[in-house]
Amino acid sequence: MSVQLFATLALITSYVSQGIIVALILRCPLEVILRFEWHFAGLALVCQGLTGKKMIFILIKMFNLFFYFLLHSSCFSVSGHVHLWWNVLG
């Protein structure tokens, strides 16, 4: 039951962060985006981090992985965040 809950929450936070990133790229409500761009970028980063942590929890819960798998998953999660920030700042 907890796996379904965390998968649903991960999906919701992933969609929220994707919506924020699309709004940042398209600058959809121009005044709001220009005024709070860094706040939206930080919120997208937090949502992506929460999604990654929930997915790691699901992997551990479902497959009962060892510590080194967790280490590699967190490494991929960090590289995803670095890639996100590189695109936001670039």
For residue range 53-87, list pLDDT tens digits in order: 888 888 777 776 555 555 556 666 666 666 666 66
pLDDT at residue 69, rounded to an integer: 55
pTM of the model: 0.64
Alpha helices (H) along 1-90:
2-26, 30-35, 37-63, 67-89
pLDDT at residue 7, rounded to an integer: 87
Q: What is the pLDDT of residues 3-62, one digit of tens each?
A: 788 889 999 999 999 999 999 999 888 899 889 999 999 999 999 988 988 888 887 777
List the domain boundaries for the chain: 2-89
8 HSE (CA, 13 A, CB side): 5
